[in-house]
A and B are shown apart, each in its own frame.
Chain A
Amino acid sequence: MKIGRREFLKASVALGGGLALEFSFPLAARAGAGLPPVEVNAWVVIHPDDRVVVRIARSEMGQGTYTALAQLVAEELDCDWARVSSEFASPNEHIRRKRIWGSMSTGGSQGVRSSQDYVRRAGAAARVMLINAAAARWKVPAAECAAERGVISHGPSRRRLRYGEVAAEAAKLEPPKDVVLRDPKDWKIAGKPMHRFDIPDKVMGKPVFAVDVVLPGMLHASLAQCPVFGGRLKSVDAATAEKMRGVKKVVREADFVAVIADSWWRADQALKALKIEWDAGANGGASTASIMAMLRDGLADPKLPQARKLGDAGAALAAAAKVIEAEYSSPYLNHATMEPQTCTAWLKPEGFLEVWTATQNGEASLAAAAETAGLPPEKVEVHKMMLGGGFGRRGGPQDFVRQGVMIAKAMPGTPVKMMWSRAEDMQHGFYRPASVVRMKAGVDAAGNLVALQTRIACPSILKVLMPDALNKEGIDFSAVRTFSDMPYTVPHQQVDYAMRNGHVPVGFWRAPGQQNAFYRECFIDELAIAAGRDPLEYRLAMLKPGDKNRLVLEAAAKAAGWGTPLPAGVHRGLAVADGFGSFAAMVAEVSVSARGEVKVRRIVVAIDSGYVVNPDTCRAQAESNVVFGLGSILYQENTVKDGRITESNFHDFRLPQMSEMPRVETLLVPSGGFWGGHGEPAILPLTPAVCNAIFAATGKRIRSLPLTHHDLSRA
């Protein structure tokens, strides 16, 4: 722990009166009796004692952006890293200052890569302003001055000033029109494995999460939503519940019922005592089988829009020496964040709404809260808390914020903390879409792939969450990726997309579209095996020299010892895919017991993200992607019966345990010249690498998941 950070934490907790809402208190209050801190620009705040606070617009869910962006700002500012901390930018202030912090959206592995340019410029601009302020005070040309580690010096006169001494004057200066950014090879703070700012509080059990918020006179709410998506509330008999201890109110809305009580458990107990009748609506008969039939029906549609067309796949297939076909599929998947969806809302008498929530987009939360409350956005503040997991659940959909505000509206003047039970969370997600894909490959006499026709039937996430982002043919890039932008040099390619939506809400689940990497990279493996060729060599033969997919593939294969002997019973598989700005290749080592139990023993992953801002955090993200994806390979699925999700908790939607964690060796191979993400890319090659290794071990080709549907035992 760094001294500066520690002091800062202590101060903020003390001032928070145990609430530890360190992000919600104005800076002036935190500075105590001394002089107030100075905002040099929107990103950089400097205290008279040289502490630097960097404002962070993106959310923190364990991916490290809260620290990595501060590293980039501090690098350009050239201050003492030991005196740097972060705070979240206020969404309310963001709106009032005309979106001064850019995007608050935290998804698509964009936290660093899509902010890096403007946050570095902000750091560099602040440095120039500090130098100019010192030069003005000394009445010397700024060109004779330099700044390093928080100190400005004037060489000729050997005078020195600390940033904290000139920050107030610097803030009054005109920002520089243009700044020169450091070459990453000269980085001293960025690119280094700095300790994450958010970890000490999390380890000490400090109340940093949205579920930890405590406010004066606060009440608690638990809710029940219509179990069938799209259904409505018909009636509620609350006679028993209303008499239960601690219960304050039963809130009836169109598609949910909530109980407000003086503790969450009491609210939840009363919720269970409600007699609720739901109107399932049109979807009460839907099942996994009916959804799969809907998707397969999409595959048979003769008039589908094309997401890619190169050459003439139809003619090339007809002329091919051999045609190989396969159908692959994947189920719906819940994000299952460890912290269930939650929102605390407080409608204040003066017509101001305050919200505390775990959000991947503070601005979207603010908009949803304002709309629900019927208030102008300027009259709403969203306090961004640390997220107990995000993975895409808490960005696009702001259902939990709307519900929290609706509940608070039933109790004006009183803060109410709403938290979903695990069962609500499991059954009311925005699921990774289920999908079915049929691939048809035409190969020449040597087994080379000359034509690939792919038909994809998949619900559209964009249709649900961002309809404007669909292209003019109605194609959702997240449903067709990895095929529509395939790097393999196959002369004839055709990708057809059948949008079939069903009634189950779908959303951005870590690396949206990642199931396509499973389909493509396992099918490529099938083609290599059919041609009697090595899967690595087969892929390399289809990748242009210099293609970064090729470089990561070679790096991973070399580090894993591809082609070298393995211990008895251990088998390898590999895969490569690009996405979210980066390139990732993986070799998985797997063993399958006689009883058919799969053990993933070792994962070697090579990632090229162009630049690396915090190598330790990037490695942690690779480990995270492996475990997150492993559960979806081994046993996770969300099934539908009578229109509702069947699974309800971690007993029937299992997460991998400690004993299942493979050894993960991460090779960061940044080649420079571009900025890629780390939150998602490593999950892309995981499923195909593991399933290809299972094939090597058993001769059984896995074309659908999870593995619980497959018998891998040796009879």
Chain B
Amino acid sequence: MLTLNVNGKLHQVDVEPDMPLLWVLRDHLGLPGTKYGCGVGVCGSCTVQVDGAAVRSCAMPASAAAGRKVVTIEGLGKGGVHRLQQAWIEHEVPQCGYCQTGMIMSAAALLEKKPDPTDAEIDQALSNLCRCGSYSRVREAIHAVAGQPPSADAAKKG
């Protein structure tokens, strides 16, 4: 049994310690917003936050997440719509949308560290892959919320 803190809730899960966090989230905790894309930590579709840092959940064994704070796309807005999610909607960022939850989780982790990132900093921090070509709109949406105080995070309940 592993105890995982996901989106502020404690979960007891009976899984192998080496099961990647991604599959615990998707198949055992019913949190399908985190996606499988490559399984080898390259594409970033599975990005979640672990203790505030963007992590590829397909490459992190569940046991390594035990005792740490995991946040997924479902918990990012703390029950509401996170300001990045709002910006993503306003700027019509996604196309197919499959990689976008990972993209948003990476962007949220970046803004925690750098509230007003430059394009170069965004490019460096967001190594997530998008097959549809949302990149310029991702940048636009991040710039649109950059500099806003973090208190805006849960301001828009929805």
User: Contact residues of A with B, CB < 8 Å?
Assistant: 1, 6, 18, 61-63, 195-196, 198-200, 202-209, 211-212, 214, 220, 245, 262-266, 336-340, 386-391, 419, 421-422, 616-617, 620, 623-628, 649-651, 655-659, 661, 663-664
Contacts and interface: CB of A to CB of B under 8 A. Distances in A.
Given A627-B132, A650-B43, A658 B122 contact: yes
Point out which of B38, B43, B98 has the most chain A C-beta atoms below 10 A from its C-beta.
B98
Given A198-B97, A338-B131, A386-B97, 14 more contacts: A204-B77, A209-B98, A211-B36, A266-B19, A338-B37, A339-B37, A388-B97, A391-B131, A623-B137, A624-B132, A651-B40, A658-B139, A661-B135, A661-B136
Contact of B138 (A6, A245, A655, A658): A658
Nearest to A198: B97
A214 B98 contact: no
A658 B135 CA distance: 5
25 contacts: A62-B94, A203-B85, A203-B93, A205-B72, A207-B33, A245-B16, A263-B23, A338-B129, A338-B131, A339-B37, A339-B96, A340-B36, A388-B96, A389-B96, A390-B96, A620-B133, A620-B134, A624-B133, A627-B131, A628-B131, A656-B135, A657-B135, A658-B123, A658-B135, A658-B139
Contacts of A419: 36
B89 interface: yes
A623 B134 CA distance: 8
How would you classify the secondary structure of chain B's contact residues: helix, strand, loop or mixed? loop
Given A195-B89, A205-B74, A386 B133 contact: no
A348 B97 CA distance: 31
Contact of A620 (B16, B30, B35, B95): B95
B33 A264 contact: no
Nearest to B135: A661
Nearest to A628: B133
Contacts of B30: 18, 214
B81 A338 contact: no
Nearest to A64: B95
B80 to A, nearest CB: 10
B95 A63 contact: yes
Interface string B81-96: 1000100110011111
Nearest to B40: A649
B27 A263 contact: yes
Given A421-B39, A649-B40, A657 B96 contact: no
A265 B33 contact: no
B20 to A, nearest CB: 7
Point out which of B33, B93, B158 has the most chain A C-beta atoms below 10 A from its C-beta.
B33
A211 B132 contact: no
B32 A211 contact: yes
A620 B136 CA distance: 10
A422 B95 contact: no
Contacts of A62: 94-97, 132
B39 A422 contact: yes
B144 interface: no
Contacts of A340: 36
Contacts of A205: 31-34, 72-74, 101
Given A199-B94, A203-B94, A205-B73, A214 B32 contact: yes
Nearest to A218: B27
A339 to B, nearest CB: 5
B42 interface: yes
B4 interface: no
B123 A389 contact: no
A650 B35 contact: no
Interface in B38-54: 38-40, 42-43, 45
A627 B133 contact: yes
